[in-house]
Amino acid sequence: MTTARVLAQAKINLVLHVLAPEASGYHSIETVFLRLDLADAVTVRVDVATRTVDCAGPAVPAAGLGPAETNLAYRAASAYAAATGWPSGFAIEIDKRIPVGAGLGGGSADAGAVLRALDALAPNALGHRLAELAAPLGADVPFMSIDSPMALAWGRGERLLPLPVLTPRPVAVLVPPFPIATRDAYGWLAGSRGAYEPEARVIAPEALATWEGVSGIASNDFDDALRPRFAKIGQLIEHLESAGADIAMLSGSGSAVFGVFPGERDLASLGSPAGARLIVTRTSDRVVRVDANR
């Protein structure tokens, strides 16, 4: 049996700048990605004739995740097969632990994990070219396909500068009782801006060398667009700030918010405003390796 297993780690965005839309309708971004220990478990088999993806686990919504062909992990495997001519079939199993529609990159993490798993099994690995293959799948997927736990990204996420990783810190993620679709978040952001002229903002890598430096520049452009629509988001951020988080902000395009805390502390007792779910995790200083069984 030819099988690969890997943990698909969630991410947070310590900085997220959204630039003006291009003629194609897509937005370029400037962002700082950082992986978390929170992860889905992904298994990929290539000794099969068909192409399937099966998702289970506590983070799968009651309504499911839709047709297999729209699943990012399935699309990633199909893209790998189209680019390399291998494999002809695949079976993907995902144990979902990362909340869906929360801005934590769960679908992208699964896609990146599938690309890395296939590359570990492939007769002719793509190596560093995985990020190029990942780019059309979504802005988070290239980062999820590389072996760096932290990176600065531009464009549509395909231009990546791996960064020296920060010392792991405890993180509290608060997930409100509603998801936010990325497409909707971008639409609301565009509507809130009107005629928008992007500011000349440059993220200096040296500002990302320490948690103190990151705290000084941490920001998310979606914040102003989403807080007026979802009062709960502002309440959750304020809850984390009052609990002592050095950084408390929206993750990606939402709906989850996260707090990064100094030192060791018992975040399980943090609590949360009514209706939100607390997930306790840590920032990660490594990318979990693929376990390949040929």
Which one of 163, 179, 204 terminates a domain?
163
Classify residue 287: in a domain, yes or no: no
Asked whether the predicted pLDDT for residue 33 surpasses 80, the reply is yes
- Examine the domain organization and report whether 152 and 174 are in the same domain: no
Classify residue 139: in a domain, yes or no: yes
Per-residue model confidence as pLDDT tens digits over 127-167: 999 999 999 999 899 999 999 999 999 887 788 999 999 99
Is 147 marked active-site?
A: no
- Examine the domain organization and report whether 157 and 175 are in the same domain: no
- Examine the domain organization and report whether 40 and 143 are in the same domain: yes
- Examine the domain organization and report whether 16 and 153 are in the same domain: yes
Classify residue 145: in a domain, yes or no: yes
Per-residue model confidence as pLDDT tens digits over 230-266: 999 999 999 999 999 999 999 999 899 999 999 888 8
Asked if residues 245 and 262 have their Cβ atoms less than 8 Å apart, the reply is no
11, 40, 95, 232: which is the annotated catalytic residue? 11
Helices (H), the chain: 72-84, 106-121, 130-134, 141-144, 182-193, 211-217, 222-226, 231-242
Q: What is the pLDDT of residue 153?
A: 92
Is 184 marked active-site?
A: no
CATH code where residue 92 lies: 3.30.230.10
Number of domains in the chain: 2
The helix-helix angle for 106-121 and 72-84 (nearest 10°) equals 30
Q: What is the pLDDT of residue 19?
A: 80
- Examine the domain organization and report whether 157 and 26 are in the same domain: yes
Per-residue model confidence as pLDDT tens digits over 99-122: 999 999 999 999 999 999 999 999
Which one of 163, 187, 218 terminates a domain?
163
Q: What is the pLDDT of residue 77?
A: 98
- Examine the domain organization and report whether 208 and 255 are in the same domain: yes
95, 110, 140, 221: which is the annotated catalytic residue? 140
